[in-house]
Amino acid sequence: MSLTADQPVFRAVVSTLVPEAAELEAARWTELEALVESSLTGRPRSLRRRLRLFLQVVQWFPVLRYGRPFTALSPARRARFLASLQEHPIELIRIGFWGLRALAFLGYYGREAAAEAIGYRPDPRGWEAAR
């Protein structure tokens, strides 16, 4: 899956969920998006298609409530809109949100610089290393 067509929406979602992402340079965004795209490699085509569709829903659904697409909303309205998806009565919408959230966090925190910044130091021994 390529995020190219939905890149502005995806970046707005990531920046809303992880406000620090708004400060990323172009190369860091490329790294983030590459992590997300590589995690989707090998996934069913139908799942990637549903993700693209969900990003379009995220972009255009706010027009009904705010009269503007997601990318044109203020950060506070973006956050409120995403919170409404998180608690939406329709399970499919909640599932879509949580999947998108997981991808946003994977992309942001999966970068080496972010892992270092939060003190994440994985060890091949897993939990044994912490003992």
pLDDT in tens, 2-26: 666 688 999 999 999 999 999 999 9
Query: Per the domain annotation, does 89 fall within a domain?
Result: yes
The total number of structural domains that make up the chain: 1
- What pLDDT score was predicted for residue 116? 73
pLDDT in tens, 75-115: 999 999 999 999 999 999 999 999 999 999 999 998 888 77
Query: Per the domain annotation, does 118 fall within a domain?
Result: yes
Query: Per the domain annotation, does 1 fall within a domain?
Result: no
Query: Per the domain annotation, does 114 fall within a domain?
Result: yes
- Better pLDDT: 130 or 55: 55
- What pLDDT score was predicted for residue 2? 62
- Better pLDDT: 131 or 93: 93
Q: Give the helix/strand (H/E) hosting 45.
A: helix 45-60
3-state helix, strand, coil in the chain (%, to 5): 75, 0, 25
- What pLDDT score was predicted for residue 4? 62
Give the structural domain span for 49.
7-130
Minimal CA–CA distance to 39: which of 106, 86, 91? 106
Residue 67 confidence (pLDDT) above 80: yes
Tokens of residue 49, six digits? 């298609």
For the segment 32-40, the average pLDDT, to the nearest whole number, is 93
Global pTM value: 0.86
Q: Identify whether the C-beta of residue 1 lies closer than 8 Å to the C-beta of residue 52.
A: yes
- What pLDDT score was predicted for residue 117? 75
CA distance 31 to 45: 23
